[in-house]
Amino acid sequence: MLELNYLRENRDEAVERLSKRCNDSYPKLVDKAIDLDSKRRSLQVELDSLLAEQNLASKEIGNLMQSGNRDAAEGLKSRVATLKTKSQDLKQTQNDLEKELSDTLYQIPNAPNQAVPKGKSETDNEEIFTYGELPKLHANAVPHWELASKYNLIDFELGVKITGAGFPVYRGKGARLQRALITFFLDEANKAGYEEVIPPLVVNEASGYGTGQLPDKEGQMYYIKEDDFYLIPTSEVPLTNIYRDVILKEDEMPIKHTAYTPCFRREAGSYGKDVRGLNRLHQFDKVEIVQIAHPDQSYQILDKMIDHIKDLLEKLELPYRILRLCGGDLGFASAITYDFEVYSAAQDKWLEVSSVSNFETYQSNRLKCRFKNDEMKKTQLVHTLNGSALALPRILAAILENHQTEDGIQLPKILHDYTGFKTID
């Protein structure tokens, strides 16, 4: 969440940055948080004064008792009892204010970076980079769900039978291609210096709050009521929470982690062709990259993460574009996000396959993840970043569609050693 010091000292700047999200409620929430904090701090001053008076009176009672002035001591005891009652009432009021303040801060999203364009929806996103020529398919080309059925790669109906819509079953070469992509992505992340982690697939509530999935995306996460756990929507959640309540050394950064996990999301978007096949699933596979960074280095690191994902897509011989998301399309916890979209030739549309984000101190403030600044001799919040490198379903869809021929599917050269085969026919 946003730091209180920042909101107090830079209220106008915070409101201006939040205005990029085109939501009139955020300035009101900022002002409410500042007001609650002011009341809380005033109450603390009053409470400190009462406690100081109470402590002095308690010492005076001891002195009076030692001098034999019991009547005066008993009278002062009555005053101390009154002070205790008032202090307890003030403490309860303070606790109520702190809870209201915390709840208010949780409702305020991250303040977008100055480079983020103002806008309400995806139509206001900025295209900043494109790569590759759009493929021209043969006359009988079909979308990936038909290819998956034709070559017995993915069984969508069997997934419906076993679980429900949005839970496909990969088979034969489809399963091997999926596994090959996962291994390729992990190998590339390892070459780039990321430590591989196998994290839990379920997290507790504190982890959800730590990275900003809660309370913002509570309705999109699968909840296990009996244990009060959540299925992860992305491995960003457990990876980043490794550093919850941790104070790092300055020379430990940047910390780089990667993980392959299944991901689970209840919200499956709109109905119709946009959710056909692999376009939008409740369960999908993803390789994630996460970095814990020094604030002075995080934007250079963001650029390197973007280059890493560019390299993956180019090796897969997929045309892609990069969008800088506008404020209204920006994730709740993100200060800036770049979306990668690959072109799906058979569907004649762009499919999002990765989001790369810098959260600055928004997550680390919730996580209480700091580092010891050697020069300033004090602790400071880290910056957190993450990116999909890559999400599997739409990558697989684009590979099947864009590389199809009259005689079968010709796989990208980079995958031949991973799959053990060059074509699907």
In terms of DSSP bridges, do strands 404-405 and 336-344 run parallel, antiparallel, or are they unpaired?
Answer: unpaired
Is 207 annotated in some ligand binding site? Answer: no
Is 234 annotated in some ligand binding site? Answer: yes
List beta partners, residue 373: 378
Give the 3-state secondary structure of 281-339.
CCEEEEEEEEEEECCCCHHHHHHHHHHHHHHHHHHCCCCEEEEECCHHHCCCCCCEEEE
CA distance 371 to 249: 5
Is 352 annotated in some ligand binding site? Answer: yes
250: exposed, middle or buried (C-beta count within 10 Å: 0-12, 13-18, 19+)?
A: middle
> Is the peptide bond preceding residue 262 cis, with omega within 30 degrees of 0?
no
Is 364 annotated in some ligand binding site? Answer: no
- Beta carbons of 423 and 410 less than 8 angstroms apart: yes
Q: DSSP readout, 362-424? A: HHHHHHT-EEEETTTTEEEE-EEEEEEEEEHHHHHHHHHHHTEETTEEE--GGGHHHHS-SEE
Is 265 annotated in some ligand binding site? Answer: yes
- Beta carbons of 349 and 257 less than 8 angstroms apart: no
CA distance 264 to 222: 7
The annotation places the binding site for ATP at: 265-267, 352-355
The annotation places the binding site for L-serine at: 234, 265, 288, 386
The annotation places the binding site at: 234, 265-267, 288, 352-355, 386
